[in-house]
Structure formats: C-alpha cells, structure tokens
Chain A
Amino acid sequence: DGGITQSPKYLFRKEGQNVTLSCEQNLNHDAMYWYRQDPGQGLRLIYYSQIVNDFQKGDIAEGYSVSREKKESFPLTVTSAQKNPTAFYLCASRRAGTPNEKLFFGSGTQLSVL
C-alpha cells in the first residue's frame, strides 16, 4: 500500500546534539511538508518542498534544516540551535499542480529532550 513512513516513532535528543527525522513516501507525490505539533496548538509549517533539490522555509524554520535529494525522501534535521525541540513532528505530501489537493500525513515522530 502507498503511504508515508516516518521514523523513528520516538527520538530523544541530548543537549547540543543534532538529530534527523526520516520521511519516505511511495505515493509519487512531488510536494512534501514538515509540520510541528504542540499540545493545544495548530500544526505549524517548518519547511516544504515542491520539487527535488528545492525547498522553502515555512513559518517556524529557525533551528531546522532539510534536504530533498530524492523525490521520495524529505529528511528533517533538528539542530542544536532549536532550543525548544520537544514536539510531535509530522511529515506530509501531496500532488503538485493542484494546490487544493488534500495532504497525506505520516504517523509522526515524537521528539523529546533528555
């Protein structure tokens, strides 16, 4: 079945450490997104990419970095510059070209600080 796979499910970060969250999709979607979810808050956009080798900052990109070397993959690195990284991170994708297409989401990664 087609879908979006996020790994790991749970991740712990030590002080000063960079960590990378994986996102892989086999839906043949061009556009991919990273959202951050905090309790009681809406999903906030971190980065998005509409095509391989191109990506744009979302509303809360500081302290995060991404790459898009393959259509299927859009990893997110949470750097040591992100001072409050504890959150639920969601990867999503959709077909490009029709901006009112629905987003498909992965199952999320819960990141916590040790």
Chain B
Amino acid sequence: EDQVTQSPEALRLQEGESSSLNCSYTVSGLRGLFWYRQDPGKGPEFLFTLYSAGEEKEKERLKATLTKKESFLHITAPKPEDSATYLCAVQPAGGTSYGKLTFGQGTILTVHP
C-alpha cells in the first residue's frame, strides 16, 4: 500500500530562521512527487513536481529535493507570509493507480515576525 508521512506535524519558526520539512514515502514505483501549499479554508496551491531522485526545484524562498525514499522542502529565510500547511503527495506508477495521488497529512508552518 502506498504511504506518505510528513514531519514534523507542526513547525514554528522566527522570521529569517531557515528550516526543512520532510516527506517520507513508500510507493510501488514513483511517477511523480508533488508539493502543495494550503492556506486556511482554501484549496491547495501547486508548488513543485519532482520526478526522479536527485532532482531539485526552486521557487523564491522554497527549494524541493528528492531521494528514493523522501523529499525535503527547504525554506530559506522565511517570512510570515510563508505560514501555511504544506502538503506532499505521490503519484504511483502502477496502472490501477492511474490519476490517484496519495497525500501526506501535511506540515503546519507558522513563521513569527
């Protein structure tokens, strides 16, 4: 069974204090790993897709990396507006799982000024 575990469940940072969020996964063949940002009461907003181990992608203060067992979302010098829940999801390669993403439970990030 495909599984995604995110840690920590919640993270509090001071503005400018860099840190990382973790997404560990077990899947029968990885077709893609997705990171989303979700603000309270809103739908998730797409951040990155990673396809193979060693791949890295950046957007402003965020950088996502991927290994064969986990992905990290690095946040450099965060600002209060980076406060949100960050979701990780995997797309298995199996045919019966076509189009079905498995999500982690999310990491709630709070950045204090």
A74 within 8 A of B: no
Which chain A residue has the least Cβ–Cβ distance from B33?
A100
- Tell me the A70-114 residues at the B interface (CB within 8 Å): 88, 90, 92, 94, 96, 99-100, 102-108, 110
B113 within 8 A of A: no
Please report the C-alpha to C-alpha distance between residue A106 and residue B106 in the assembled complex, in whole angstroms.
18
Number of cross-chain contacts by CB at 8 Å: 63
How big is the A interface, by class? 20 to 34
A41 within 8 A of B: yes
Please report the C-alpha to C-alpha distance between residue A70 and residue B74 in the assembled complex, in whole angstroms.
41
Please report the C-alpha to C-alpha distance between residue A79 and residue B51 in the assembled complex, in whole angstroms.
38
A100 x B51 contact (CB < 8 A): yes
Residue interface bits B102-113, CB-to-A below 8 A is 1, else 0: 111110000000
- Tell me the B87-103 residues at the A interface (CB within 8 Å): 87, 89, 91, 98-103
- State the A residues within 8 Å of B (CB): 4, 6, 31, 33, 35, 40-45, 48, 50, 58, 88, 90, 92, 94, 96, 99-100, 102-108, 110
